[in-house]
């Protein structure tokens, strides 16, 4: 059996979809469905059981899974909001939960992959290299990034990174993110704004070296993200931290132009003021260094931005489809 936490979320449900494509459906999905629409991500997936995250953690600590044959744990469950201000909640949800699951896995020799984040790199002044050496010097710009950094550091201090795999995801987007509210990607926001008004709004730049809309990000299609997860799981020699990104820095303008082109609309971009509370926590450039994954033998190139956006908006969002539908 596989345990997939966050299995109803964007990356988690996409991973279940990908595992299903490999003929694997003996999967326990763990998540918190609440009142959101992410339950719709589960409808087309094959899995053996579902548990709410608190019920799962209670049963885990009670020893209910001690005699269960678990082949792997893919821990994607987390609060991924970069604007979340409740630090106590983030510590409980992103740090303590991950630590409990990792301890369970390591004691039983179960292979475990967990979600870290490129948000741990902060302003990028120290680069975007997925090397455990020197991660103590990183300074995340928001509490979400720091909650991920907390566990990376904890795992390093305890020697766990010799067995665990921590995935530093870049800006992942794609089908199955429709439920994410304020955390939905700019690709999805572009679809919504362009189809509603014909205009896309982007934040102005507050740094002279970047023109408006020329801020840069490493954007990654979710189908590519889960292909990388599968590759890492299938290589037992893999351990430590790995970037999960495209390895390309592309502008918000390029992303939005690709969305206009995919939808067959005339390009109209409006630049608006960035809220003051975001200005000192805003990343102007991210680009995951992918050499470590390449050296392990991963050769597949990330889907080009325009192709990925077209696939997403034309084949999924415009038809209101989820992965597997």
- The partner residues of 199 in beta bridges, in order of sequence, read none
Instruction: Look up 295 and say whether it is catalytic.
Output: no
> How far apart, in whole angstroms, are the C-alpha atoms of residue 189 and residue 4?
28
Let me know if 259 is exposed, middle or buried by CB neighbors in 10 A (0-12, 13-18, 19+). buried
> How far apart, in whole angstroms, are the C-alpha atoms of residue 94 and residue 88?
10
Strand 27-31 with 49-52, pairing: parallel
Annotated catalytic residue: which of 38, 148, 168, 180?
180
State the DSSP H helix or E strand holding residue 196, giving kind and residue range, or none if neither.
helix 186-197
> How far apart, in whole angstroms, are the C-alpha atoms of residue 200 and residue 190?
6
- Please spell the DSSP secondary structure of 65-97, one letter per residue: TTTS---EEEE--S---TT---HHHHIIIIIIH
Annotated catalytic residue: which of 18, 121, 144, 312?
144
Question: Are the CB atoms for 42 and 29 separated by under 8 Å?
Answer: yes
CB atoms within 10 A of CB 36: 15
- The partner residues of 173 in beta bridges, in order of sequence, read 221
Q: Which residues contact 159 (CB under 8 A, 6 or more apart)?
A: none
Instruction: Look up 40 and say whether it is catalytic.
Output: no
Report the catalytic residues.
144, 180
């Amino acid at each position: 059996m596989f345990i997939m936490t966050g299995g109803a979320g964007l990356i988690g449900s996409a991973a279940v979809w990908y595992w299903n494509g490999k003929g694997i459906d003996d999967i326990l999905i763990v998540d918190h469905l609440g009142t959101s629409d992410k339950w719709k991500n589960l409808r087309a997936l094959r899995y053996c059981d579902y548990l709410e995250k608190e019920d799962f953690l209670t049963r885990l600590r009670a020893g209910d899974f001690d005699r269960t044959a678990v082949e792997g744990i893919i821990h994607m469950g987390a609060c991924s909001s970069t604007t979340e201000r409740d630090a106590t909640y983030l510590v409980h949800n992103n740090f303590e939960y991950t630590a409990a699951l990792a301890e369970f896995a390591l004691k039983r020799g179960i292979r475990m992959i967990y979600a870290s984040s490129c948000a741990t790199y902060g302003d990028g002044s120290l680069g975007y290299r997925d090397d455990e050496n020197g991660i103590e010097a990183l300074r995340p710009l928001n509490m979400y990034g720091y909650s991920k950094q907390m566990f990376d550091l904890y795992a390093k201090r305890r020697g766990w990174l010799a067995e665990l795999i921590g995935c530093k995801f870049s800006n992942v987007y794609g089908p199955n993110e429709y439920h994410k509210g304020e955390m939905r990607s700019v690709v999805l926001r572009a679809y919504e704004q362009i189809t509603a008004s014909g205009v896309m709004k982007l934040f102005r730049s507050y740094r002279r070296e970047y023109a408006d809309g020329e801020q840069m990000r490493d954007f990654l299609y979710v189908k590519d993200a889960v292909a990388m997860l599968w590759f890492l799981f299938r290589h037992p020699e893999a351990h430590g931290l790995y970037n999960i990104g495209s390895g390309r820095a592309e502008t918000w303008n390029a992303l939005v132009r690709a969305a206009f082109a995919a939808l067959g609309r005339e390009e109209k971009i409006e630049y608006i003021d960035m809220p003051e509370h975001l200005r000192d926590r805003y990343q102007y450039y991210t680009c995951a260094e992918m050499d470590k994954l390449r050296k392990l033998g991963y050769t597949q190139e990330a889907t080009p931005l325009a192709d990925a956006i077209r696939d997403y908006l034309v084949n999924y969002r415009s038809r209101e489809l989820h992965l597997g539908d």
